[in-house]
């Protein structure tokens, strides 16, 4: 559920080329990667299978990306944000160190970082994303380096709803890991970003409770995190320059200023509703949206579930993770674990508060907890 993404049946394994592992895996020659291509019906996706050392077939973890045009490293292909960390590359390396194979892939209609098929903004559906998970699992099911009896899904953000929906179609699924879980309805979460993040951040720049072009420009150039930064970009045109113009959608009285208490809350709700109806949030508007994961709790009650959530997650509140955990318990789940992390944001990177969540490199603690949980369940 990343608002920074503001822009407009498997055919099997086609190509496999063994390479040295990229990213953080370069320092350990015992961890290898295979470059793959997989058919997602009308689109061929580039993928990478990271493998642990040893000759034993490895259990598989399939990584399901978040919102926007993400590449296989979970970088956002819409802005080339390579400095923010490569979440899935780091997770894959950590999994390989623990003896697990990790499969990650470019999202449907994403060719690579900054290379996006135009159909991404007009034709992509969430049901396609669910089918893609099944295709990814099937693509490596016959690989002798994979133990197909042990499959896990790891979803991040939007990918938590996709992974949850895909779970029932994977016979040998042994568990699901949910990071930054969308455990509340889409509309509620998108509106909450304005209330939890944007308004508090803008108060640091406001004059008499409102912001105009100069204040918006200063806020955009400030030290806010990804959600604060990019939603401020919605409030005005050319906010990165001295030519900033206040967006009239958020300035109904036309005085060139946005009142943080009397104008912004109502305008933000209107903006979210418009975007859900057919704008940049169209995937999350009825009838195309998948239910949030809490609404899918009944289908997950017989599956081990690990939820990892930062307490300073600016995209979706930690309350969403708590809501899901309670729903799992209420639905009879006997194996659900919730881990929350102070001073951690949506990518489980260091985040001092909600307004300064950078979507940066994942911290060590969640990776340790992930490895421990997987080893514990493999031994059962």
**Segment 299-345, tens digit of pLDDT:** 999 999 999 999 999 999 999 999 999 999 999 999 999 999 999 99
Mean of the per-residue pLDDT values of the chain: 90
Q: What's the rounded mean pLDDT across residues 181-206?
A: 98
Q: Tokens at residue 176, please?
A: 């699901």
In degrees, rounded to 5, the angle at the alpha carbon of residue 71 between the alpha carbons of residues 90 and 236 is 110
Rounded CA separation 63/160 (Å): 10
Q: How confident is the model over 280-308, as pLDDT tens digits?
A: 999 999 888 999 999 999 999 999 999 99
Q: How confident is the model over 211-222, as pLDDT tens digits?
A: 999 999 999 999
Q: Which domains does the chain have, with CATH numbers?
A: 13-184+292-378 (3.40.50.1820), 187-278 (1.10.238)
Q: 113 falls in which pLDDT band (50, 70, 90)?
A: confident
Q: 80 falls in which pLDDT band (50, 70, 90)?
A: very low
Q: How confident is the model over 350-361, as pLDDT tens digits?
A: 999 999 999 899
Q: What is the structure's pLDDT at 242?
A: 84
**Phi and psi (nearest 5°) for 319?**
-60, -30
Q: What is the structure's pLDDT at 4?
A: 40
Q: Quick one: which of 94, 125, 105 has its CA closest to 24?
A: 94
Q: What is the structure's pLDDT at 75?
A: 86
Close Cβ partners of 175 (under 8 Å, ≥ 6 residues apart): 152, 153, 303, 304, 305, 306, 373, 374, 377
Give the rounded percent of residues in the chain with a pLDDT score beyond 70. Answer: 90
Rounded CA separation 125/40 (Å): 12
Q: What is the structure's pLDDT at 307?
A: 98
Look at residue 12 and tell me whether its pLDDT is greater than 50.
no
């Amino acid at each position: 559920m990343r608002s920074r993404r503001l822009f407009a049946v498997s055919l099997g394994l086609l190509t496999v080329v063994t390479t040295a592992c990229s990213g953080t895996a370069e320092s350990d020659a015992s961890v290898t990667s295979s470059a793959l291509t997989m058919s997602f019906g009308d689109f061929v996706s580039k993928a990478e299978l990271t493998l642990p050392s040893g000759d034993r077939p490895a259990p598989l973890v399939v990584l399901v990306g978040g919102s926007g045009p993400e590449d296989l490293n979970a970088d956002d292909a819409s802005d080339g944000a390579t400095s923010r960390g490569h979440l899935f590359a780091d997770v894959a390396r950590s999994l390989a160190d623990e003896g697990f194979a990790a499969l990650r892939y470019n999202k449907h209609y994403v060719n690579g970082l900054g290379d996006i098929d135009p159909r991404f903004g007009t034709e992509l559906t969430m049901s396609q994303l669910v089918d893609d998970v099944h295709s990814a699992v099937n693509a490596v099911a016959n690989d002798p380096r994979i133990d197909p009896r042990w499959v896990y899904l790891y979803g991040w953000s939007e990918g938590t709803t996709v992974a949850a929906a895909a779970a029932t179609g994977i016979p040998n699924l042994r568990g699901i890991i949910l990071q930054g879980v969308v455990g509340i309805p889409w509309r509620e979460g998108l509106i909450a970003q304005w209330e939890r993040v944007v308004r508090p951040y803008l108060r640091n720049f406001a004059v008499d409770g409102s912001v105009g072009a100069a204040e918006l420009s200063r806020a955009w150039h400030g030290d806010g995190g990804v959600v604060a930064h990019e939603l401020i970009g919605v409030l005005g045109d050319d906010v990165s320059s001295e030519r900033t113009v206040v967006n009239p959608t958020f300035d109904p009285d036309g005085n060139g200023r946005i009142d943080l208490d009397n104008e912004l809350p109502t305008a933000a709700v209107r903006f979210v509703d418009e975007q859900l109806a057919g704008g940049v949030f169209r995937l999350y508007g009825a009838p195309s949206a998948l239910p949030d994961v809490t609404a899918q709790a009944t289908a997950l009650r017989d599956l081990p579930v690990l939820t990892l959530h930062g307490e300073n997650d600016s995209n979706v509140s930690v309350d969403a993770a708590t809501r899901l955990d309670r729903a799992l318990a209420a639905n009879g789940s006997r194996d659900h674990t919730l881990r929350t992390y102070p001073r951690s944001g949506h990518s489980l990177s260091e985040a001092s508060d909600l307004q300064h969540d950078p979507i940066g490199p994942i911290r060590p603690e969640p990776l340790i907890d992930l490895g421990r949980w997987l080893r514990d369940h493999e031994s059962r």
